[in-house]
């Protein structure tokens, strides 16, 4: 299991142009941990397990949805590092992206913080934000309990947004298919 100690240096490849923190992504976690987790995620996304891979937003090896990310393409075309550097920030596509899923709740805060302290310091803060206080395992926004030691909440992010995460998970569970 990835812990914050597995990231001794901030890595720009793991910093989304939108403000997402790649090490806390369920796809990133599944790829790094086990074939069983990758198979489970591939089944959930209805894609071949070979396609379920990602080394971060700015890497050459990105998840299928990340490969078609409009924010990544837009910042690249404009020669920007982050969406917040754009004069149209926050644009309509980014606003829609942010409200669609609970793991995106803090995008505005993240963009602001990156501008204030730089991605290196922000990266270190995110390691703390998504790490279990007990065992330091990095958890996703959807891991209510730590994947390694079972601590509840799994991390500060989950503690902060638990009601929105639970609401999303309940809706998803009640959907057909």
Distance CA 91, CA 169 (A): 27
* Burial environment of residue 92 by CB neighbours within 10 A (0 to 12, 13 to 18, 19 or more): exposed
- Whether the predicted pLDDT of 172 surpasses 60: yes
Residues 6+ apart with CB under 8 A from 86: 74, 75, 78, 80
Q: According to the model, what pLDDT value does residue 153 have?
A: 97
Helix, strand, coil share (%) of the chain residues, nearest 5: 55, 5, 40
Across the range 148-166, mean pLDDT stands at 97
Q: According to the model, what pLDDT value does residue 173 have?
A: 79
Q: According to the model, what pLDDT value does residue 176 have?
A: 52
Look over the chain and give the mean of its residue pLDDT values, rounded to a whole number: 93
Task: Please report, in angstroms and rounded to a whole number, the separation of the first and last CA atoms in the chain.
Answer: 30
Supply the range of the domain harboring residue 55. Answer: 4-173
Q: Name the domain count of the chain.
A: 1
Distance CA 80, CA 41 (A): 32
């Amino acid at each position: 299991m990835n812990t914050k100690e597995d990231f001794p240096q901030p890595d720009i490849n793991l910093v989304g142009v939108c403000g997402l923190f790649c090490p806390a992504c369920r796809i990133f976690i599944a790829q790094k941990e086990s074939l069983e987790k990758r198979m489970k995620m591939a089944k959930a996304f209805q894609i071949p397990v070979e396609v379920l891979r990602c080394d971060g937003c700015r890497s050459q090896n990105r998840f299928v949805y990340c490969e078609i990310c409009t924010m990544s393409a837009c910042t690249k075309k404009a020669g920007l590092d982050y969406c917040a550097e754009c004069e149209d920030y926050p644009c309509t596509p980014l606003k829609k992206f942010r409200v669609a899923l609970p793991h995106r709740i803090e995008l505005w805060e993240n963009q602001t913080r990156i501008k204030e302290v730089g991605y290196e310091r922000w990266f270190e803060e995110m390691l703390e934000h998504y790490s279990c206080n007990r065992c330091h395992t990095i958890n996703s926004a959807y891991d209510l309990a730590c994947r390694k030691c079972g601590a509840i909440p799994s991390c500060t992010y989950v503690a902060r947004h638990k009601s929105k995460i639970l609401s999303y998970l309940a809706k998803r569970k009640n959907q057909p298919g």
